[in-house]
Each structure stands twice: as structure tokens, then as C-alpha cells.
Amino acid sequence: MQNFDFDWQSADNLKIVGRCWLPHVPIKAMICTIHGFAEHIGRYEHVAKYMNEQGYGFIGFDQRGHGKSEGKRGHTPNYHFLIDDVGSFLALVKEKFKDVPLFLYGHSMGGNIVANFVLQTQANFLQGVIITSPWLKLSFSPPAIKLWLGTLMAKIYPKFTEKSDLNVRELSHDAEIGKAYLADPLVHNSVTAKMFVEITKAGLLAIQNAKNFALPLLLMHGTGDNITSHKATEEFAHQIAPNWITLQFWDGMKHELHNETIKMQVLDKMNGWISQRLKLV
């Protein structure tokens, strides 16, 4: 693989840091990746390696408040900054890789952001979209008092921070994934009241507007996911016109499909779907 780091200044003057992995053969397409909550793009290096072997470039960035990017951990001033960051990122990719087909891939919180980016912007330059385990709704209901407090604090003290209390055993059936997650210095466990409220509202908004989704979409979720709701994914999917969507549920699989024990099947599914889209270009 060839790889390089890059960065840019966000609209509110944060340094946003990204990474790109390129194959040694002519690039068939670029896969532009939006990672999930509390993690960073470096956790996708094995996905990048697989995609490079198929002839695809793989590129992503650490979201604001995550990884090597600046910003308070687990915070955004409002949801629009997350959407704007994706827009800035894709503008850089289009400039760097002119005339190369682009696919947008979002996981978990990244899936929430990707869904809303497509629904809220003119994204017709994309050849397709891949979303895995989107945070449209959580698989569990937080205590009512925490929801009330979070909503209140989002208004009066948006940066109010709590621990996310993620159970790493719910990431994958592969126990090594959880161990690596806990040992990773770029992973955090903080969520601000504003971030939680904004992502929650945006997930519901995506479901409400799903009928307007009009790009080819590969949507996947594990039915054993105890972090984000596969039922909410199903609700979202059933409102999208059948000609746009390929829906795949993975029986009993947990949250991080790309890190699951069947990850090669998941990645092969992604590769096959991308290859089919490129044949239609």
C-alpha cells in the first residue's frame, strides 16, 4: 500500500486530520469513509488493505473531537458542523482524485451522518453509498433521568460530558477487537450532551425522510447488535425505493461488521456491490 496523511481547517478553525491508502495499481474507485463514535480512521487500516487489494483507494478522516483531529472529545457545536466536515472532505477528495468514481461509506455514527448528508445535500456525484450498523436509534433505552438531564444540559451547557459506558464485548464476537479498542490511545469514552442530543435527533430525522434517499445504497446490520438498533435500520430501509437499496442483515452478528468473525464475507459483499456499481458507470 501507498499511504499519506492530510489535514484541513474546518469552518470553525479546527484542524481535521485524515489518512489515505492507495493501491499500487490504477485506482478503480475511492472509498470515502466516515468512522463511528469515539473511534478514529486508523481502526480501518485492515479494511483499507483489503480494498487496496481489490484496486480501490481508501480514504477517511478523524471526525472533530476524535482521534488526531482537534476539538473537545465527543463533542460538536451542532449537527451541521458534522455534515459540513463531510462536505469539505469530499471536496478535497474530488480535487485530488479527479474523474475517479467515489463511494461514501459510513459506520455507526458515521452511518447516521452519511444518511443525512445524502438526504440534505446534492450528492449526485457519488457512485454509491455503503452504510453499516447506523446509529439511527440505540438498541437500548437510556434511563429516563439521563435523557432528561442530557436534553436539559444540551441547552444550558452543551459541553457537559458523561462517559459513554460502551461495553467492548458488544463490538464483535472476536474478543481481541475489544482488547485492542481498550488499549487504543486514540479511542475515547466521552460524549457531550450536545453531541448525544444532536445525533439522536438526526437519526430520527433520517428515518422520517428516508423516502427521499435517491442514491444506490448498500445497507448492512447485524441482528445481534446491542449497540445500535437493526430494527431502526429496517424501518429506514423499508421507506427507500427498492431500485436504490440492497439490504443485508447478518444473523447474530454484533456492531462492528468489518471486525466480526465473518468480516471477510462482509468485505466481499462490499466489494461485489461496488464492482457491480462500477459496471453500470
Per-residue pLDDT tens over the stretch 233-274: 999 999 999 999 999 999 999 999 999 999 999 999 999 999
Residue 135 and residue 117: Cα distance in Å, rounded? 14
Cα-based distances in Å from 176 to 5, 48, 99, 219: 27, 19, 39, 26
Torsion, Cα of 131, 137, 138, 144 (10° steps): 160
pLDDT digits (tens, 9 = 90+) for 23-54: 999 999 999 999 999 999 999 999 999 999 99
Residue 241 and residue 245: Cα distance in Å, rounded? 7
**What pLDDT score was predicted for residue 162?**
73
Mean local confidence (pLDDT), 117-138: 97
pLDDT digits (tens, 9 = 90+) for 196-205: 999 999 999 9
**What pLDDT score was predicted for residue 108?**
98
Cα-based distances in Å from 218 to 31, 82, 99, 244: 13, 22, 22, 9
**What pLDDT score was predicted for residue 152?**
56
Q: What angle do CA 172, 173, 179 make, to 5 degrees?
A: 65
**Residue 56 scores a pLDDT above 90:** yes
Average confidence score pLDDT of the chain: 94
Confidence of residue 160 (pLDDT cuts 50, 70, 90): low
Mean local confidence (pLDDT), 93-113: 97
**Residue 231 scores a pLDDT above 70:** yes
Confidence of residue 156 (pLDDT cuts 50, 70, 90): low
**Residue 148 scores a pLDDT above 60:** no
45-73 burial, b if ≥16 CB within 10 A, otherwise e? eebbebbbebbbbbbbbbbbbbbbbbbbb
**Residue 214 scores a pLDDT above 60:** yes
Mean local confidence (pLDDT), 132-150: 76
**Residue 70 scores a pLDDT above 70:** yes
79 versus 149: which is more confidently predicted? 79
Confidence of residue 281 (pLDDT cuts 50, 70, 90): low
User: In terms of C-beta density within 10 A (0-12 exposed, 13-18 middle, 19 or more buried), how is residue 1 classed?
Assistant: middle
**What pLDDT score was predicted for residue 122?**
84
Tell me, rounded to whole angstroms, the distance of Cα 254 from its chain centroid. 16
Choose the CATH number for 2-279 among 3.40.50.1820, 3.30.465.10, 3.40.50.620, 3.30.2130.10. Answer: 3.40.50.1820
| DSSP character at residue 62 | P
